[in-house]
Amino acid sequence: MIGIAGAGAFGTALAVALAKGGREVRLWARDPDQVRQMRETGRNEVALPGIALPENVSVHAQIGEVTHGQALLLAMPMQALGAALDASPEIDGRQPLVACCKGVDLTTLRGPVAVIEGRRPGAPAAILTGPSFAADIACGLPTALTLATTGDGEALQELLSTPTLRLYRTDDVIGAELGGALKNVVAIAAGTVIGAGLGDSARAALMTRGYAEMVRLAEALGARAETLAGLSGFGDLVLTCTSAQSRNFRYGCALGKGEAFDPKVTVEGVATARAVVRLAEGKGIDMPVTTMVNALALGRIALNDAIGQLMSRPLRQE
């Protein structure tokens, strides 16, 4: 059995894909009304409409009912991960705990695996990340992800792989974490460029310079550059910066157009930008794209001023 804590779009999609791959899956939802709706309809119309739950997916209201399988996937927003672990002693870490979120914790300035290890010392911890949209995974479209763990991840890789969900394993946890986190910030910037009508050429330039920032910070924190060139970095960056399915990209488009964005939608890149600015300042790393995204999100700078500052930076060798 595989447990999944979190019945948002991604958690539900993973439940569907793993169940279709022959696994028994237990899915926990925090909202009792959502549990009731999913049990009655066999669907998660709130987060992933139109997708039927396979018979080997059961939905639970008590988190303790999903914590005793071969692995527990923690499919919740990055900024909620630490609090969820604090509130759930049932998550005892006897089985691998796999973070299925992207970002940097605002309190500790650490990634998901470090947050897990800090609260469950000795528990096998990993992160599942990479270029993926929940709807694609749930519909059985081919998807490749990165599974990063400092332990022996071969059995976990086998457990979580299906005919349509291919996992690649790495021991560069920091690189995988930062790739998934930082690409959301760049996606906001890319969406802002498109929303402001600056064109695809400007987006390509922005993505390239944003990727350079990702590598600079990751290497400064001990990651390997080649990890950022893989699925969890470059692959995820391309997907998130070029599709309206991305919440971060859509949020950026709204910024570029000067429009309000639905406050109920989680945009991980906003919190990540705030955390990364602090992290980069502490390391003396220059991250102009991230700095501008943070300033725009906080309303500290006008869009035209942000564009002007980026375009007026000193000319130098690439």
Active site residues: 183
97: left (phi over 0), alpha (psi -120 to 50) or beta: beta
Contact 5, 11 (CB under 8 A): yes
β-pairing verdict for 43-44 and 125-129: unpaired
Beta pairing partners, 169 = 147
Q: What are phi and psi of 122, to 5 degrees?
A: 90, -15
Closest CA to 113 of 85, 90, 144, 132: 85
> Quick one: DSSP state of residue 68?
S
User: Coil, strand or helix: which one is 139?
Assistant: coil
Residue 133: what residue type? F
- Tell me which H or E stretch contains 41: helix 32-41
CB 157 within 8 A of CB 128: no
Spell out the residues 6+ positions from residue 155 whose beta carbon is closer than 8 angstroms to its own. Answer: none
**Residues 64 and 39 sit within 8 Å (Cβ to Cβ):** no
| Residue 315 DSSP one-character state | P
In 77-133, which ranges are continuous DSSP H helix?
78-86, 112-119
Rounded CA separation 254/296 (Å): 11
